[in-house]
Amino acid sequence: MRLSLLGCGLAIYLSLFPPSKPIQAQEIGLDSLMAEVLRANPDLLAAKLRYQAFEAKVPQAGSLPDPMFKAVSSNLPIDSWSLDQTPMSGIEFMLSQKIPFPGKMGLARKMVRSLAQKSKEDYHSIKNFLLSQLKQNYYQFYLLQKSIEITQENKLLIEDFARIASTKYSVGKGIQQDVLKAQVEVSKMMDQLIVLQERKKVVQAKILVLLNRDPQDHLGEPEDLTFRKLDLSEEDLQNLAISTNPGLRGMNLLVRASESSYRLARREYFPDFTFSLSYRLREKVRMDPARGKDFFSASASINVPLYFWSKQKKKVQQKSFDLESFCQKYEGMKNNLKLGVSKLFYSLNRFKDQIQLYQTAILPQAQQSLESAKSGYQVGKVDFLTLLNNQVTLYNFQIKYYQALSSYFITIARLEELVGKALL
């Protein structure tokens, strides 16, 4: 009997003073992962090359058309193909250059420059998206790691509870239902660990793919998160998003490009100019008043927009509709951006309130309730199921606290993507 009571006391001691946690694996910081994404992600590198290629189009749009060089042998007799039989025979070399009406090349260059800048904003949009995805997965990875640690700790404690219940049942001081209930809770936590480990591997693979690594590589463990308050109002975040969101800035650049295209279409009513210089080589022939001297010629020509009612006029109408369409898209995008910021801001406040509630009330109260149940159980004033339920309740609240904490940082990461810059 004394040995049984001694074993029961030892089990209670182990439940009150659990063994220390094992040494954790090497931690991996978020900053280093972000730097690696910017350095190695292939989608981001491809986006950077796209906007660099677009920038190379800007000087092309502002260049004159290539000059034309032409060599002509004219008025050669077909019986001899000789240049010295008639005064009309000769070889002519001609150089011509087309020059668009003043302002056309400047508008074309301005339009392409706006499109190139829009391509650069697309690069920043992809960068913000990838960094946001990395952060969201990192915080999810942190939640899963903490959930695994908490579940493992609680599993050990409930296993100790099961041994206590089994010992008391063996000496006639407990009931079999207590033993079975504790064993069921242990099995539930084992099942939960299997699920958490699988989810952790999936999230780890997502992070590794963002880093352009093999999904089966090892990542390490996430650093601990500390709650940090975001001191920005809803209006501040909306104004910041409107001024710095690369998607909205890109749409504004499309509006500017469309405006330049519209103005260029109106310039199509005006003709372009073509200037030519030619030099004609001649041989000296009999009965030639010029005595075989070479000829020089110069000419200027313009195209005539004769069919303007079906061509230039309709093009101006088309570009006008395009411009108005882009303006409306810009306004719609701005409104949706403000709405998205507001929704995330409300979610952020909810998670912030939950974190503070768990820190200041729920977790301390649940811990006090568990300690009271442990003390009461030792002196026989609290039954086993009450002790077990208090331990499970604390476990659930600990998981919910870290869910709220990770959701808080995930929401900030989503806000940063909308705003277009880091907020913490």
- The domain limits of the chain are 2-64+100-270+305-419
Query: Residue 309: phi, psi to the nearest 5?
Result: -70, -25
The pLDDT tens digits of the residues spanning 127-171 come to 999 999 999 999 999 999 999 999 999 999 999 888 888 887 777
pTM (predicted TM-score): 0.84
pLDDT at position 288: 66
pLDDT digits (tens, 9 = 90+) for 190-207: 999 999 999 999 999 999
What average pLDDT score do residues 19-35 get? 73
pLDDT at position 20 over 90: no
pLDDT, residue 399, reads: 96
Tell the CATH topology of 2-64+100-270+305-419: Outer membrane efflux proteins (OEP) (1.20.1600)
Q: Read off the pLDDT of residues 297-337 as tens digits, 9 standing for 90 and up.
A: 899 999 998 888 888 999 999 999 999 999 999 999 999 99
Task: Give the separation between CA 354 and CA 350, rounded to whole angstroms.
Answer: 6
